[in-house]
Amino acid sequence: LKQNIFLNGAVVTMRGITWGEDSPDNGSALSYEQMERDIALIKNLGANAVQFAFHPPHPYLLDLCDQYGLLAFEEIPLYETPSDIFSTENYRTLAENYTKEMIRRDRNHPSLIAWGFGDGFESIDPRAKLLLDELQGSEKSMDSRLTYYISLSLDDVQNSGIVDIAGVRLGNSDIKAFTASLQKWKLSHPDQPVIVGRYGKAVETGNRNGYSDPMSQEAQARYLFQRYDAIKGADVAGSFVWSFDDWRGDRPMLTVQSNTPDLYTQGIVEFNREKKIAY
């Protein structure tokens, strides 16, 4: 029971997807209509949870989660931050202020189930414990909801035990290694719910060459199906597919050939929200 998440007294498994704030027409300044179309597509997908990546979302998105019955995971912008930076007193103060402001603004949303302290930072570093202790203490002094962060290391047992939910990214290894890594993470956290954060595969835009082409939509669909099936078989608290939509980054994506190299193509819908096979 300690490895389960409960909602109104019943066990609930997160069938989640990660949403990024970007669109072809308005960039990160989505219209209210575009926000609702995205949330409606996520609901239609069969998902029951949304992880808002990189920073707290526009408040209207949480209104929509309340209305559509989607569970929200919201986090501060502590993303792949080097330990030399997050261990400084100034950065810890900024992170604590971010956390307090996020909770103060959004704690009245019934859809919000968990507060996040970041994704992919060097949490195995001993200096991370001080930061996580401070953030956990700030959150619990203001709200009783669950806390999480997404770790990059399977060896991160001590620090991941500070928060309520043990989240992990498992990389792009083959399905056997993925399954073995997930079992290792679950066994090392017997007293916490386990979630898999951000698993996905980038593909070439418009590539429909079939499963044998690793850059095709078909290969992406198989990749996600296999991992979702492994996560379901592991009987953990859930997972988040990375990601709902394609989005533009601030540097070229070098692993995929594209006419728009700054377009990151892990989405299960295109940048213009056209559904891919994986959807």
Question: Using one digit for the tens of pLDDT, what is the confidence trace for 30-40?
Answer: 999 999 999 99
Q: How many CB atoms within 10 Å of residue 166?
A: 26
Residue 167 pLDDT > 90, yes or no? yes
**Mean of per-residue pLDDT scores for the chain:** 94
Q: Place 54 in a pLDDT band, splitting at 50, 70 and 90.
A: confident
User: What is the reported pLDDT for 124?
Assistant: 86
Q: How many CB atoms within 10 Å of residue 30?
A: 20
Q: Place 222 in a pLDDT band, splitting at 50, 70 and 90.
A: very high
Quote the CA–CA distance of 242 and 268 in Å, as a whole number: 8
**Phi–psi pair at 94, nearest 5 degrees:** -60, -45
Q: Using the Cα atoms of residue 80, residue 83, residue 86 and residue 90 in order, give the sign of their dihedral.
A: negative
How confident is the model over 3-10, as a mean pLDDT?
Answer: 94
Quote the CA–CA distance of 223 and 194 in Å, as a whole number: 21
Beta bridge partners of 238: 14, 195
How confident is the model over 162-178, as a mean pLDDT?
Answer: 92
Residue 161 pLDDT > 90, yes or no? yes
DSSP label at residue 274: P
Residue 115 pLDDT > 90, yes or no? yes
List, for residues 249-266, the tens digit of each pLDDT value.
887 777 777 777 889 999
List, for residues 184-216, the tens digit of each pLDDT value.
999 999 999 999 999 999 999 999 999 999 999
User: Helix 217-234 and helix 175-187: axis angle, to 10°?
Assistant: 30
DSSP label at residue 211: T
* Beta strand extents in the chain (DSSP E only): 5-7, 10-12, 14-19, 49-52, 71-75, 112-119, 146-151, 165-168, 194-199, 238-241, 247-248, 263-264
Q: Place 245 in a pLDDT band, splitting at 50, 70 and 90.
A: very high
User: What is the reported pLDDT for 171?
Assistant: 82
User: What is the reported pLDDT for 261?
Assistant: 80
Q: Using the Cα atoms of residue 278, residue 166, residue 81 and residue 156 in order, give the sign of their dihedral.
A: negative
